Structure 1
């Protein structure tokens, strides 16, 4: 493949739509993890924690859901009040099923590099080279073995309140 070929469009919106459909088809509740500090993210500020927000995008929880190649938009209730929500595709960090935690953390999109301020090597306009990061010693003092992966557990518990 040559370097002068036409660049492909972002794969992120296609992954999001496919995973959304997979989660919904299996009777699970799709949730999006969004970086709320990104420009053009429109979510209620009271729903943001540590610069991130988790959005329930199940068909029963939102109305007018549209997942275009650029933005995900819908209307949803937060604390009983309807809000218009708009999330650029680049701000979505992950999509997963609430019940099982299965899903995907989305890979960085190469086309976002220029927008996100990725440093470029001044010599040829290429991204700056990666460098190795020292690994942390293992808790048992054995540094010879492979690292022990830590898997975050999905957030559990009810988030609905009964109002009489």
Structure 2
């Protein structure tokens, strides 16, 4: 029997595009208790946080098969947000609630301990690469 890929990256991208193309505001529901989640702690309630990921609301937005990352302001303070896909529980449109909750995926549970230390290193490296590129542009 062949194993299927995890479906969350595909579902997240499809629902994100559908919500944005419908001129609505996409929000993700995040389990902030998961390892490697970087969100503003002061807005976490009962271990969860809802984040607006509309293109007009965030900067340097990135969504790939591993994580959603962006820069945004929270109460006027800039912050870099990093959410591994295994911590995203669902996505919906603010205006009408259309969206989906993601099913549990055993692959994320199996990879949980293996992937997380590696993600911490990647998060630390991303700002360094941006700073170097920024220095080249200044020259």
Please, what TM-score do these two structures have when normalized by structure 1? 0.66
User: Which protein shows a greater Rg?
Assistant: 1
Whose helix proportion is higher, 1 or 2? 2
Counterpart position of 1:17: 13
Q: How many residues align?
A: 113
Counterpart position of 1:43: 39
Counterpart position of 1:65: 61
1:55 aligns with 2:14: no
Distance 1:72 1:85 in 2: 8
The Cα of 1:8 is off from its aligned counterpart by: 2.9
Gaps of 5+ in 2: 114-139
What SS does structure 2 have at the residue aligned with 1:64? Answer: strand
RMSD of aligned Cα (Å):
1.4
1:74 aligns with 2:74: no
Counterpart position of 2:129: none
Highest relative contact order (Cα 8 Å, sep 6+), 1 or 2?
2
Distance 2:39 2:78 in 1: 11
1:33 to 29, 33, 36: 29
The Cα of 1:115 is off from its aligned counterpart by: 4.2
1:98 aligns with 2:94: yes
What SS does structure 1 have at the residue aligned with 2:56? Answer: coil
